[in-house]
């Protein structure tokens, strides 16, 4: 409890808890000693509203035993588990620890299932119906949030069902991407390209690379300026998977289509991140998941099994 500057509250809470328990015991002891008067007809002698009389209905003695059991339970519990202020308890239980135990237990349970697939080539795993059902579930739980349930992505989130890969679409590369994540960085290039007009010209040239509708005059003017882009995207604009520079010639527009989107990209740049999954998924899970993702673009969709 580093939230607090002293351990006062810890001591305070522990003291209140223990005093409360002792007070319960005292009350039990006192009520066991006390006697109450009853009239001959087994009423307490209290009368309300003219004719309502209170019967003497004593609690059964064994009920006191239940109270004592709760007190004993409380003391044992407080000794074993954290409850008295910052005292961690004899068992050293934490919610985090329990979570981790359960996760590792769950992983151990499914380990034999995954072990079979880990020894198989991803291409073969992608042909296994059961593995693909597992992969589908893994994808739905871990990937669909960004890439969409159908893996076709959206603005800023790559489509995983086509053959366009920023970092390469071989199973090894997919495993690498899922495990370590990727950070794609397009620096702001406006200053290097030149004037605002030059930027527009380069944008038109980029459009021309994929045969999209463009202004051919501007494109021709932009072509020489593209030299600064070629460092990453290549002289032919086909990109470079080693550094995640996208192919500009395939008419796939991850961050938006049209002159406006391209100009904004050149002016402002973009950092796009795929988070690493190595701490969330186990290696065998990533193996199956990568096979599933590979299978999305390398064979008919496995949706119907």
Partner 1 sequence: MSDPSARKIIPITVQSAPKGGPAEPGPAMHSLYEAQKKIYPRSVAGLFTRWRWVMVALTQLVYYGLPWLEWGQRQAVLFDLGTRRFYIFGLVLYPQDFIYLTGLLVISALSLFLFTAVAGRLWCGYTCPQTVYTEIFLWIEHKLEGDRMARMRLDAAPLSANKLLRKGSKHFVWIALSLWTGFTFVGYFSPIRALGTEFLHAQVTSWEVFWTFFYGFATYGAAGFMREQVCKYMCPYARFQSAMFDRDTLIVTYDTARGEPRGRRARSADPATLDLGACIDCTLCVQVCPTGIDIRKGLQYECIGCGACVDVCDTVMDKMGYARGLIKYSTENAIEQRWSRTQIWRRVLRPRVLVYSAILAAISLAVVFNLAMRTPFRVDVVRDRGTLARVVNGGLVENVYQLQIMNATESAQRYRITATGLPGLSVVTDDTVMVDATQSRWVALRLQLPPDAAPAGSHPIRLAIEALDSPGRLVEKSAFLVPR
Nearer to partner 1, 121 or 299 (CB): 299
Q: Which of 59, 108, 191, 242 touches partner 1 by CB under 8 A? A: 59
Q: Is 50 in the site for partner 1 (CB under 8 A)?
A: yes
The one-character DSSP state at 239 is: -
Nearer to partner 1, 32 or 213 (CB): 32
Interacting positions 250-279 with partner 1 (CB under 8 A): none
**3-class SS of residue 74:** helix
* Exposure class string for 42-79: b at 16+ Cβ within 10 A, else e: eeeeeeeeeeeeeeeeeeeeeeeeeeeeeeeebeeebe
Cα dihedral 98, 104, 106, 110, rounded to 10, equals: 180
Site string for partner 1, 135-174 (x = CB under 8 A): -xx--x---xxxxxxxxxxxx-x-----------------
Q: Is 213 in the site for partner 1 (CB under 8 A)?
A: no
Site string for partner 1, 19-38 (x = CB under 8 A): ------------xx-xxxxx
Q: Choose the binding region for partner 1 from 70-78, 84-92, 105-113, 296-304 (rule: CB under 8 A).
A: 296-304
Nearer to partner 1, 56 or 100 (CB): 56
DSSP-assigned states of every residue in 138-191: HHHHHTHHHH-TTS--BTTB--SSSS--SS--SHHHHHHHHHH-EEEEE---HH
- Which is nearest to 191 in space by CA: 204, 202, 176, 183? 202
Interacting positions 86-125 with partner 1 (CB under 8 A): none
In the complex, what is the shortest distance from the CB of residue 277 to partner 1, in angstroms, rounded to a whole number? 16
- Number of residues lying near partner 1 (CB under 8 A): 46
Q: Is 64 in the site for partner 1 (CB under 8 A)?
A: yes
- Which is nearest to 225 in space by CA: 205, 239, 254? 205
Does residue 113 contact residue 107 with C-beta atoms inside 8 Å? no
Residue ranges in contact with partner 1 by CB under 8 A: 31-32, 34-43, 45, 47, 49-51, 53, 56, 58-64, 136-137, 140, 144-155, 157, 301, 303-305
């Amino acid at each position: 409890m580093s939230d607090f500057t002293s351990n006062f509250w810890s001591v305070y809470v522990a003291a209140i808890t223990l005093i409360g328990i002792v007070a319960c015991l005292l009350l039990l002891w006192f009520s066991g000693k006390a006697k109450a008067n009853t009239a001959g007809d087994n009423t307490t002698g209290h009368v309300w509203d003219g004719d309502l009389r209170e019967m003497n209905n004593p609690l059964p003695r064994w009920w006191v035993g239940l109270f004592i059991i709760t007190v004993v339970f409380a003391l044992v519990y407080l000794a074993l588990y954290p409850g008295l202020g910052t005292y961690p308890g004899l068992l050293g239980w934490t919610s985090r620890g329990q979570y981790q135990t359960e996760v590792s237990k769950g992983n151990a349970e499914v380990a034999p299932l995954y072990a079979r697939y880990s020894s198989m080539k991803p291409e073969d795993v992608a042909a296994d119906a059961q593995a693909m059902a597992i992969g589908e579930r893994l994808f739905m739980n871990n990937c669909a949030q960004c890439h969409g349930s159908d893996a076709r992505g959206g603005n800023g989130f790559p489509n995983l069902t086509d053959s366009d890969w920023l970092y390469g679409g071989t199973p090894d590369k997919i495993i690498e991407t899922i495990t370590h994540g990727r950070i794609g960085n397009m620096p702001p290039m406006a200053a290097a390209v030149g004037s605002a007009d030059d930027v527009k010209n380069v944008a038109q040239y980029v459009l021309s690379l994929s045969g999209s509708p463009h202004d051919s005059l501007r494109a021709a003017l932009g072509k020489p300026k593209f030299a600064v882009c070629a460092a990453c995207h290549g002289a032919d604009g086909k990109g470079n998977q080693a550094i995640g520079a996208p192919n500009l010639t395939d008419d796939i527009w991850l961050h938006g289509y049209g002159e406006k989107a391209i100009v904004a990209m050149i002016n402002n740049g973009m950092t796009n991140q795929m988070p690493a999954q190595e701490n969330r998924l186990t290696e065998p899970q990533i193996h199956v998941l990568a096979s599933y993702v590979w299978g999305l673009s390398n064979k008919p969709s496995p949706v119907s099994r």
